Amino acid sequence: MVEFHKKHGREGTIAVTKVEEPSKYGVVVFDEENGKIDDFVEKPQEYVGNKINAGLYIFSSAILDRIPLKPTSIEKEIFPNMASSGNLYAFVLPGFWMDVGQPRDFLKGMSLFLNHVRNTEAAKLATGSNIDETATIRGNVLEEHALIFFKSADLFFEQGEA
């Protein structure tokens, strides 16, 4: 997603995901070839697409100039303006996504995640990595050039790609 954002070079990128029932959500209408967002349609009664806002964003600092100093809905006020000026793009998330906006869904999502983490195998360390002999690392996510300094600690990171 970061590489996609850098490549198009505009102000913002929204992660979108495919859903079976788009009428339950707000749909993001965009050019499937380049990702440029054209419109947002809230809970459409007629089919306009099946990709929805997944709640993950990357912005350049230019977005700060768009946000007034008052209560503002970024999704309803800022995103449409960014899209109409050609500054907002959609990145289709690969893999699994789940709406966890309701308590029952949140608990189900956490259960699925914890089952996934429990069944995940360890990965090899990159060349040049140094880990203190007192550290324990489980399910780590470390980006390039990450530095971790601890004398004695159990480190817990979210599972993902390094």
Which of these, 57, 67, 53, 45, lies nearest to 18 by C-alpha position?
53
Do 136 and 155 touch, CB atoms closer than 8 A?
Answer: yes
Q: How far apart are CA 42 and CA 47, in angstroms?
A: 11
Q: Which residues contact 71 (CB under 8 A, 6 or more apart)?
A: none
* Strands (DSSP E) found in 19-134: 26-30, 37-42, 51-59, 88-92
Q: Which residues of 37-69 are buried (b: 16+ CB within 10 A; e: fewer)?
A: beebbeeeeeeebbbbbbeebbbeeebeebeee
Which residues belong to the active site? 43
